[in-house]
Structure 1
Amino acid sequence: MDMSHIPDLITPAIPVFVITVIAEALWVKKLRQERGESIKGHTWKDTLASLSMGLGNVAVSVFWKGVAFAGYAALYHLTPLRMGHGLVAWVLLFFLEDLCYYAFHRVHHESRFFWASHVVHHSSQHYNLSTALRQTWTPMTGWVFWAPLALLGFSPELIVTQQAVSLLYQYWIHTEAIDRLPRPVEWLFNTPSHHRAHHASNAAYIDVNYAGILIIWDRLFGTFVPETERPIYGLTKNLTTHNPVRIAFHEFAAIARDAARPGPLSQRLGYIFRNPAWKPKEASQPAETPPVEAAPSAP
């Protein structure tokens, strides 16, 4: 399918990504001298791993974007609805695409099969602009969440363009260099403060702030938590590698190992599709300690 008439917003932005990552690294180095360990900064190994993941995502997307576009086109031709390309269509799409992103993001945290793809983005123990580029090499798990837009009559061209706009917006919020913004902005939009909490492994921040552009969905659906305590970035069980291949596929391998364990089908499916923290009941409860018999009384 010919996609040449669709504007490519991501590829031209790659030089901007590189320049701003370098500029942020220099700026954060200065801030660390002023604020100490309250800001984490960059390390070369971590940043290069993130850039490698981003380049891999671009390579995979050369193929996958065409497949996804064809899928949207097929659904678009099935429905009699047509939203057109006017201002009203763009405004509606802005809100609906952002809601689709919220659903995509939430499910990719709450179901392990989907988390295996998304965990890549959370695998860094640093939080900076390079972290935004640490993207999955298995984007195929996301297509279904935007499919309803095609059935509602939004053209595939509009859908993929708005997806790119959302992705570009989310780039700048991956930073510790920007503190809280004015209150109206913090209330309506996803900001660095909100997204820092999302990337943290603190117990108070697990599975919160799924927003793309608008934070209103988290406020409506009860998943909003403000940044209060200092975030500890990364996973609850962090990786010890900067190898891009292991970062990309480690959770799929872990799912395969767990699903291969002896047990009923429900247990195997649980390991695949339930919450990433789920364990079978017998495995999640410590074995009972047998009672200690009292020593006989001395005669």
Structure 2
Amino acid sequence: MIPEQFIELATQVDEVFFLIGVAILVIEIAEAWFKGSLKGKTWLEMLASASTQVPYLLLEATMMTALYFGLYVFSETVVSWHLPTTLPWIFLAVVIADLTYYWEHRIAHRVRILWTQHAVHHSSRDYNIVTAVRFGPLESLWSFIAHIPMVLVGFSPDVVLGSVILVQAYQTWLHTELIGKLGTLEWVLNTPSHHRVHHGCDNKYLDKNYGGILIIWDRMFGSFQVEEERPRYGLTTDFDSQNPVKVWFSELPGLWRDIKRAKSGRELWGRLFGPPGWKP
């Protein structure tokens, strides 16, 4: 398989998961309608989630396209060693991309400047399939940086990008309350049950279940939590806005206030790179 074929396959898989997401959305809306819980606020929340794709895709089409072009040039001109694109190596690339996603995701929860972007994904008090596309405008920039080591060890940028697409596409179906626990699959795969925990802001659920496709990373690195009672979704703060602009940039005003208040270089570092809520 040539790299271009793999990335085309990954894109097709992404489209399949998108259609699965659409089917889940239809069922979620129908269920809420029959239960009488389909309120105006629900629609506004879904629209706010979908609206995050506007700045996200705009930056994908400009800045991220330019960065990936540079990565292709770097791979061809600087990295003189290239791993084969046979199925075993592609499988390994997807596993490595999934492990990379685990750490990328975990770090984004613990470094405030990265959290300003990832918090957008967590800021909805509702939890439905539309939450899957709720992204911070610059969230893909950290993902890009985190996966550069894969290119340095010899994976083609197409294989790396295709692997990232697969890891992200898989997570689409996780954002729903329609699907309960899935028996033995819960031991290996990330499931809707595991991901509901990740979106919970209850103390027992905070900063748990970072996995993309596999949940084994959380079990290995001590961040696993089984779903017990239904999570309370959203942030630990009282953010509850459906204004698209406020959703896109919800964490930035607070960060800017803390930067202006910083009285030393050490405090500025802590405000930027310490965990959310860090204080001197």
TM-score computed with the length of structure 2 as normaliser: 0.88
Amino acid paired to 2:158 = E
RMSD of equivalent CA atoms: 2.5
Secondary structure of 1:124's partner?
coil
Distance 1:187 1:13, change over 3 A: closer
Moved more, 203-212 or 46-55: 46-55
Do the aligned residues in 2 keep the contact of 1:75 with 1:151 (CA within 8 Å)? no
* 2:92 equivalent to 1:92: yes
Aligned to 1:170: 171
Among candidates 13, 26, 29, match of residue 30 of structure 2: 26
Distance 1:166 1:203, change over 3 A: same
Q: Determine if contact 1:117/1:141 at 8 Å carries over to the other structure.
A: no
Q: CA deviation at 1:13?
A: 6.5
1:187 maps to 187
Q: Distance in 2 between matches of 1:124 and 1:239?
A: 8
Q: Distance in 2 between matches of 1:247 and 1:124?
A: 9
Higher helix share: 2
Q: Distance in 2 between matches of 1:219 and 1:253?
A: 35
Once the 2 structures are TM-superposed, how far is the Cα of residue 279 of structure 1 from its aligned partner? 1.5
CA drift of 1:93 comes to 0.6
Tell me which structure has the larger Cα radius of gyration: 1
Does residue 130 (structure 1) correspond to residue 130 (structure 2)? The answer is: yes
Matches within 5 A, 1:75-154: 75-77=74-76, 78-138=78-138, 139-154=140-155
What amino acid sits opposite 2:27 in the alignment? A
4 and 56 in structure 1: CA distance in 2 versus 1, 3 angstrom threshold: farther
The SS at the match of 2:220 is: helix
Relative distance call for 1:16 and 1:53 in structure 2 (3 A) is: farther
Number of residue equivalences: 271
Q: Which runs of 5+ in 2 are unaligned?
A: none
Give the SS at the match of 1:200.
coil
Q: Which has the higher contact order (CA 8 A, sep 6+)?
A: 2
Contact 1:211 1:218 in 2 (8 A): yes
By how many angstroms is 1:262 displaced?
Answer: 4.6
Residue 181 of structure 1 and its aligned partner are, at CA, apart by 0.3
The runs of at least 4 consecutive aligned structure 1 residues that moved more than 6 Å come to none
Calculate percent identity across the aligned residue pairs: 35
CA distance in 2, matches of 1:61, 1:14: 18
Secondary structure of 1:231's aligned partner: coil
**Pair 93,241 (structure 1): closer, same or farther in 2 beyond 3 Å:** same
1:150-209 CA-to-partner distances (Å, cap 9, x unmatched) read 0111101111111111111100010000000022x1000100011000000000011111
Structure 1's 262 and 145: CA in aligned 2 closer, same or farther, altered over 3 A?
closer
More displaced stretch, 49-58 vs 174-183: 49-58
Aligned residues of 2:64 and 2:141 also touching (Cα < 8 A): no
> Which amino acid is the alignment partner of residue 155 of structure 1?
S
- Stretch of structure 1 that moved more, 53-62 or 81-90: 53-62
- 1:123 and 1:238 in contact (8 A); partners too: no
Which residue does the alignment assign to 1:217? 217
Report the counterpart of residue 265 of structure 2 in structure 1: 265
Q: Which residue of 2 aligns with 1:292?
A: none
Work out whether residues 119 and 251 of structure 2, in 8 Å CA contact, stay in contact via their aligned partners in 1. yes
TM-score (norm: length of structure 1):
0.83
> Which residue does 2:46 correspond to in 1?
47
Please give the alpha-carbon distance, in whole angstroms, between the structure 1 residues aligned to 2:62 and 2:218: 32
For 1:202 and 1:136, the matched residues in 2 are separated by 22
C-alpha deviation, 1:12, in angstroms = 8.1
Moved more, 232-241 or 190-199: 232-241
After superposition, the C-alpha distances for 1:110-153 in whole angstroms (9 at most, x for unaligned) are 00010011001001001110111111211323211101110111
Corresponding position of 1:255: 255
Kindly provide the amino acid, as one letter, of the partner of residue 170 in structure 2: Y
CA contact (8 A) 1:46 1:124 kept: yes
Q: Is the 8 A contact 1:259 1:269 kept in 2?
A: no
In structure 1, give the amino acid aligned to 2:136: T
